[in-house]
Structure 1
């Protein structure tokens, strides 16, 4: 299940095709919280049991909306809801590799470059910010960058504010979004435009094909609980 972008599933469709090609599940469907196909259509007639993996970065406002809508649907068969893919511990390693590749591309030294994670954030729920800070702490523990920070589009600190407090000659920003949509692309780039040092934005981490193994891990963990 994904948030939806421009009325459709966006990059979740690509991930779904890759998972289907793996042959590890009888059927793979994509449902949108805001878009088409909606959750009811995605679940209609699905073979039992169904494992739902939220393609979200956190257990936040949208995750709660998804759970509420699922609860309103008829309960036919066995349903398991996995943890959001953004809570997978391996996401930090994926972010690290993305940032490392950006430094190599830009010919920047990692230990002179700041790493900034940019999430959505919202005053309505702490989940988005908490998940971003959790990934930030994992990356801080890994070291290698001059500093690591987190920023948000809809709550403080903003990307400009967070970047101002990070040392380093250059800055790599990674978007904690599933898709390169209005938030993960346009809004993040606009928020970074005022930075006064060289920077590179990698785009939304969720659009990386390397997210697929993390999705599979979350599904299999949920099914193990059900066994």
Structure 2
């Protein structure tokens, strides 16, 4: 029986692919800690040759898209790049267990701040797109899931690339938490989100991007185990 294997793939940052390539390799190692006996590798689509190198020597690995939504990259570009050398599974952003992870993140910051849920708003800061609805739809679906779990005063979504734009959605929220609905820390998370929040005079808590949470490697490992079952 071949050794089970998986490659975790992110989009990456085309103008400077190195740092995120390192991040993906580190994420693969942390996922591997939860999957003894597996071979885990990480790569980005942006780094030339990285995906081919990660697939080298593996026998039909599972391929885990570290993306926040299903769309052109997961549905068209990634299968094209794989060319039959692996089996892609559903992306990170539509994981069934992701709402539980988000709810735990929000509950933790409420406890740390001593805030009551009923007095607090949650702003999901997401990518959005002028060309596709999938990015926004994933964020809206997450907001709906969290409404049934947290008892917050308000849950709203704001986007970098479509309305409602983040600067508008963040205005007047008062006591609030902003959770970036992003897999990796890149330009939008580093620059666009803080700038939009500053423009809106947002005075709440800005959290790290969702994909950096310590619970993510175990979540991905569980998903890969389920996908590997006959």
Structure 2: tracts of 5 or more residues without a match: 1-8
- After superposition, the Cα gap between the structure-2 partners of 1:103 and 1:184, relative to the gap in structure 1 and judged at 3 Å, is same
2:116 is aligned to: 109
2:198 aligned with 1:193: yes
The equivalent position to 1:2 in structure 2, one of 10, 28, 48, is: 10
* Runs of 4+ with deviation above 4 angstroms: none
The equivalent position to 1:52 in structure 2, one of 63, 80, 94, is: 63
1:80-122 deviation line (CA, Å, top 9, x unaligned):
2111011112211222222222233333322111001111111
SS of match in other structure, 1:68: helix
The equivalent position to 1:135 in structure 2, one of 131, 142, 145, is: 142
TM-score scaled by length of structure 1: 0.86
Deviation at 1:196, TM superposition (A): 3.7
The equivalent position to 2:157 in structure 1, one of 150, 154, 157, is: 150
Higher RCO, 1 or 2 (CA under 8 Å, sep at least 6)? 1
1:31 is aligned to: 43
Deviation at 1:150, TM superposition (A): 1.1
TM-score scaled by length of structure 2: 0.85
Could you tell me how far apart the structure 2 residues matched to 1:67 and 1:173 are?
33
Could you tell me how far apart the structure 2 residues matched to 1:24 and 1:214 are?
15
Deviation at 1:197, TM superposition (A): 4.8
Deviation at 1:208, TM superposition (A): 1.1
Aligned residues: 217
Could you tell me how far apart the structure 1 residues matched to 2:102 and 2:157 are?
13
SS of match in other structure, 1:30: strand
Aligned 8 A contact 2:25 2:42 in 1:
yes
* Superposition pairs of residues 43-192 of structure 1, within 5 angstroms: 43-46=55-58, 48-64=59-75, 65-70=77-82, 73=83, 75-76=84-85, 79-164=86-171, 169-192=174-197
Deviation at 1:23, TM superposition (A): 4.0
2:29 aligned with 1:17: yes
Q: What is the CA RMSD across the aligned residues, in angstroms?
A: 2.0
Could you tell me how far apart the structure 2 residues matched to 1:176 and 1:49 are?
30
Could you tell me how far apart the structure 2 residues matched to 1:195 and 1:44 are?
47
Aligned 8 A contact 2:118 2:152 in 1:
yes
- After superposition, the Cα gap between the structure-2 partners of 1:107 and 1:194, relative to the gap in structure 1 and judged at 3 Å, is farther
